[in-house]
Amino acid sequence: MSWQSTMIKGNECFDSHNWLEAEGYYNRAIELVDLLWQQEVSNLEAMQAWVCGYQNLAATYEQQGQLERALQCLLHAHYRVLQQANNKAISEHAQSHALQMSSVTFKSISVFKGKHANYTRCMDVLDHVCAAPADIKNAKLKAALVH
């Protein structure tokens, strides 16, 4: 089964409120996309699909009331695309695309924060994300984190 059909199955399960099955399909789709992305780190479609998989998985956990797991998925996706944006081993185009994807992942974290304003851990983490980690030296990345 391809990652695309696996993701679609996950979406169907999600729409049917079958959270555990959706979770399984999303995890499998992420595994398949990750293999593809490892083979070609500049594969922009794989990067987008990988982020989508993690966002879908986060939504599944959120529906189950597992806010910590949902937040972990969102953060994992965010930090991985930031790593790619700062990865000198890939093309500038792929770095730029990763930087653009980081604004998508950051927005997902911000939306999550808005929905769960009483969830203290989310507030603490978001403050940390906005502070721009010291190991990210690229000024563009720091600027993207602040938006």
| Each residue's pLDDT tens digit, 76-131 | 999 999 999 999 988 899 999 999 999 999 899 889 988 887 776 666 666 666 55
* Helix 67-85 with 139-146: angle, nearest 10 deg: 150
Residue type (1 letter), 39: Q
The angle subtended at Cα 78 by Cα 74 and Cα 62, nearest 5°, is 5
Quote the pLDDT of residue 41. Answer: 81
Phi, psi of 120 (to 5 degrees): -55, -40
Q: Give this prediction's pTM.
A: 0.83
DSSP 8-state secondary structure symbol assigned to residue 65: T
Percentage of the chain surpassing pLDDT 90? 61
CATH for 3-146, among 1.10.10, 2.40.160, 3.90.550, 1.25.40? Answer: 1.25.40
